[in-house]
Structures are given as C-alpha cells and as structure tokens.
C-alpha cells in the first residue's frame, strides 16, 4: 500500500502574509521588523479596525497571522484610500510645531518652576469654584500657554514633572497632568500652537465639575456603591454648567468637560454619545484622562505602571478610544515614559528622565542611590551608551514598577533638587563584542 503524503507546515494556523491582505479581526503574532521600532507595545494583538490595519501597513510589509485567534468584530467596509505615496505626502504637510529642542537636563529647572506655579493655580481655581467664584480665565490660559511652550521645547521634561504628585491634591494635579498629556498628544498629531493651547485648556478644566461632588463620595477610600457612582457621574454635567457660567472659555472646554467620559461605542456617560458625535479634543482628553487615572495613586489604591495603562488603551482601540490617537499617544510617551520607575539588572531603581530616539528600550535614567551604592549612582545614566556593572555586564532594565509600590516619591526627589541638577555619568569603557 502506497504511503500517504505527509501533511506539511502549510496546515499551521500561523501564516506569513502581506499587510496589503490583512483585515480587522486578525491576530498579529510576529512582524517583519523589531517590535521596538513600531508603536505596537505588545507582542501579539488583534487588528480591531481599518485604522489599525493602516497603521500596521505604515510600518510593515509582511506579518505572521495566527488564524486560530481570529475575532469577528463586525466592522464596516474599508473606506476608499488614496495611494500610500499620496497619504505620506499629505502627512508631511502637517508636521508637529517646530521649536528648537532643549536638552531635558537644561529644561527641567525652568519647567519645574512652571509646573509648581501651574499646580498652585489649578488648586486656586478649584477653591474659587468651590466657593462659588468664577474661574480665572486669563490665569488659566497663561498657565496652559507656559505648558505648551515647555512641551514644544522638550515634551519629556513636562511629562516627567506630570508624575510629581501631592496625594492630598489629587483632582487639581490630575487636571494639570491631563493638560500636559493632552498637549503632548496634540503635538504628536501635528496640531499648531493655537490648537495646543486650546486642547491644553480643555484638559486643565475637564474635571472642574468634581468640586461640587460631596467629599464622602469623591474621597471615599474604597469602591463606590451604585448610588454613589450615579452621584460621581454627575460631574461632567456640573463641569459643563460651571464653564457655561464663565466668560472667555469657549465651546471646546465646555464640550470636553461634558463629554470626556463618553466612548466611541456609546458605552460612556452622561449621554451615551458615539464616535461621530465626539470632537477631536474630547477624544484626546479621554485618552489622557484614562492614562493618568490608571497610573496615579488614588485614595483606594496605588497607581499602576504605564505599561498597564498602555495595555488598557490598546485593548480598547476602536471600541472606546480613537485608534490613531492611541498610537500617537504611545509614540509621544515612549515605551518607558518619563517618570516611570524601573529596576536595573544590578537591583538599583531608577526614574526614566527621557527617551533616546532610535533606542526606545534604552532611555536616560536618574538612578536612585541606596546607602550601599557610591554617590555617582544618583546622576543621569544614558543606557544608549555603554555602561557596565561591577562584573562587566551591560546595564539594562529588567522590569518596571509602580512608583509608590517601589517606595519612590518623585515629589520628594524634586524637593531635594535631584531633578534640577542632573549630571551625566561618564561612559564605561568596554570592549564591544
């Protein structure tokens, strides 16, 4: 009896194919280039929309698809597309605003002064509203303008400072951080300076309605009951009312305060709006608000690492958040976003100060000196250069931590002056293999 032919590898559920042939619902398990050279943070993801497909096509020519993990998404037909060459030309017409870039260590002293002044201002705004006074519109716009100026010079300085927090002033500092994150995302999207000022103001005032929420709900150290959640969900309407009664703020800030908890699929509140009913500013602030809420310490839990927030955002693209904006948000912050706390292979903890273009996994760090390490461990360490441990092994990041769980207080570091006096550690001599 003749032998039956063996079934070859073509029956595998993993198949390499051109990105021109992929569709939403497919599970991408491998790329034709290193993952760190793309905006995709996680090795393995579902293409949830045609926007995801287009982003993938910008970075890759072929990918490996796992057909066993296909998801039926029910997305509509693909919209007509211009030739890729024309799309790229169109993107080049709207570059991010051009401002001479300043090194982060040179920028931090001035940026820290701006951040502290803006923190005090947003606290005063919240106090004024709580007492029934009007928002100081000129002061708010001036503070946002200063933040825009710093983000254009070096976004990482302001992103780092947005993680400097006072646990007793969560709402006001959350608003300032969302403003900074929104400006950084707007810059990545190519907005001009006027638009950056507008989206920054929207971020600064998005949660102003929380000042009228009772403290027993707003500051409750635990999960809210269904009744308490209904009370909390009134803050967008309250924010709209406050901004409507303030001169000089305009419709954009009003709309974002009212709509920043709405989602693309209509699952948000208070009105259940859908994607086509949401403005670009609302979509931007919604992403920044979600990221900051996840990564910040709250009364009832510690903030989580930025990678957790990125994962939440990435899983919700197309359903909750705009896919293109999430990609730009991840790109603007980087894999190791400024202010993240990481652990080196020596066991030392460090704060990410800035990224290195072309070396996304090798950022610049402020290494925190425990008692058993020499004083120079508290200086700026550039992982894109060759540095070794006492055994000659290259220094590298092994994991990321929540700052609070790791016992790192960025506000304390700022108060000690460590963020204002960064001196780079000299490169370690090492033979390259």
Cis peptide before 296 (omega within 30 of 0): no
Closest among 322, 343, 216 to 275, alpha carbons compared: 322
Q: What is the pLDDT of residue 346?
A: 86
d(CA 314, CA 306): 12
Q: What is the pLDDT of residue 56?
A: 86
**Neighbouring residues of 326: CB distance < 8 A, sequence distance ≥ 6:** 287, 313, 314, 317
Q: What is the pLDDT of residue 428?
A: 53
Q: What is the pLDDT of residue 130?
A: 87
Taking the model in full, what pTM does it have? 0.77
128-136: long-range pairs with CB below 8 Å, 24+: 129/208, 129/211, 129/212, 129/242, 130/211, 130/212, 134/245, 134/246, 134/247, 135/205, 135/208, 135/242, 135/243, 135/246, 135/249
Where does residue 409 rank: exposed (0-12), middle (13-18), buried (19+ CB within 10 A)? middle
Q: What is the mean pLDDT of each run of 10 residues along the chain (433 residues)?
A: 41 75 84 76 74 83 83 60 47 45 79 88 89 90 93 90 79 91 95 96 95 90 91 95 90 96 96 95 97 86 86 90 90 88 89 82 82 54 82 84 86 80 60 31
Q: What is the pLDDT of residue 36?
A: 65
Beta strands of 280-386 (E only): which ranges?
A: 341-344, 349-354, 364-367, 380-382
**Neighbouring residues of 362: CB distance < 8 A, sequence distance ≥ 6:** 356, 382, 383, 384, 396
Q: What is the pLDDT of residue 3?
A: 46
Interstrand relation of 62-66 and 364-367 (parallel, antiparallel or unpaired): unpaired
């Amino acid at each position: 009896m003749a032998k039956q032919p063996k079934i070859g590898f073509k029956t595998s559920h993993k198949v390499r194919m051109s990105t021109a042939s992929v569709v939403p619902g497919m599970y991408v398990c491998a790329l034709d280039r290193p993952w760190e050279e793309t905006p995709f943070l996680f090795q393995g993801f579902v293409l949830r929309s045609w926007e995801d497909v287009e982003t993938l096509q910008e970075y890759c020519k072929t990918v490996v698809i796992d057909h066993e993990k296909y998801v039926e998404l029910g997305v509509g037909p693909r919209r007509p597309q211009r030739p890729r060459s024309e799309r790229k030309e169109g993107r080049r017409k709207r570059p991010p605003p051009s401002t001479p870039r300043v090194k982060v260590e040179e920028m931090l002293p001035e940026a820290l002064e701006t951040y502290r002044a803006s923190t005090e201002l947003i606290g005063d705004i919240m106090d004024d509203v709580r007492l029934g006074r009007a928002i100081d519109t000129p002061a708010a716009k001036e503070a946002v303008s200063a933040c825009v100026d710093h983000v254009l010079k070096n976004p990482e300085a302001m992103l780092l400072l947005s993680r400097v927090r006072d646990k007793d002033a969560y709402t006001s500092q959350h608003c300032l951080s969302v403003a900074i994150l929104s400006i950084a995302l707007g810059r990545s999207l190519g907005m001009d300076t006027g638009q950056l000022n507008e989206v920054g103001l929207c971020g600064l005032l998005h949660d102003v309605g929380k000042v009228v929420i009772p403290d027993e709900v707003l500051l409750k150290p635990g999960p809210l009951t269904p009744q308490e959640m209904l009370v909390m969900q009134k803050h967008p309407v309250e924010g709209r009312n406050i901004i409507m009664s303030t001169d000089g703020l305009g419709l954009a800030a009003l709309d974002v305060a009212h709509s920043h908890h709405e989602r693309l699929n209509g699952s948000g509140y208070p009105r259940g709006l859908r994607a086509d009913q949401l403005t670009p500013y609302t979509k931007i602030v919604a992403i920044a608000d979600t990221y900051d809420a996840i990564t910040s310490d709250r009364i009832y839990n510690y903030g989580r690492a930025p990678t957790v927030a990125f994962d939440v955002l990435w899983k919700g693209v197309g359903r909750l958040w705009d896919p293109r904006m999430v990609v730009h948000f991840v790109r603007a912050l980087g894999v190791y976003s400024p202010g993240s706390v990481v652990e080196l292979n020596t066991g030392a903890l460090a704060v990410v100060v800035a990224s290195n273009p072309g070396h996304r996994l090798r950022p610049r760090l402020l290494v925190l000196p425990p008692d058993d390490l020499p004083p120079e461990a508290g200086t700026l360490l550039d992982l894109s250069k060759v540095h070794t441990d006492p055994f000659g092994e290259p220094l590298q990041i092994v994991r990321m931590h929540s700052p609070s769980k790791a016992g790192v207080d960025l506000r304390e570091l700022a108060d000690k002056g460590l963020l204002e006096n960064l001196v780079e550690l000299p490169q370690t001599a090492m033979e390259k293999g």
